[in-house]
Amino acid sequence: MREACYCGRVGEVEDREPIYGGGGRIEALRCPRCGHLDPLPQLDADDRRGVFEEAERRALEGLAQRARSGKGHDRAAW
């Protein structure tokens, strides 16, 4: 699903960062450009859950790819 943020970023809604709330559930998606949080109130509960799950899958996949390529953060450097 494509969307546009207030900052002008256009892209797949599922490519935004999942934000977790109480209970470890995703409550909103954050724009990677400006940080705007969107709880997707326009979607019904089942569709919203599906978008949140896909966003989480993509975020985890991105982390795994960065770790494999050596582009992740080195914990010792923190």
Q: pLDDT value at position 77?
A: 45
- Computed from CA positions of residues 34, 37, 40, 42, in that sequence, does the dihedral angle turn out positive or negative? negative
Q: What is the mean pLDDT of each run of 10 residues along the chain (78 residues)?
A: 89 91 90 93 93 92 87 52
Calpha distance 53→51 (Å, rounded) = 5
Q: pLDDT value at position 47?
A: 93
The predicted model scores a pTM of: 0.76
Q: Give the N- to C-terminal CA distance of the chain in Å, as an integer.
A: 36
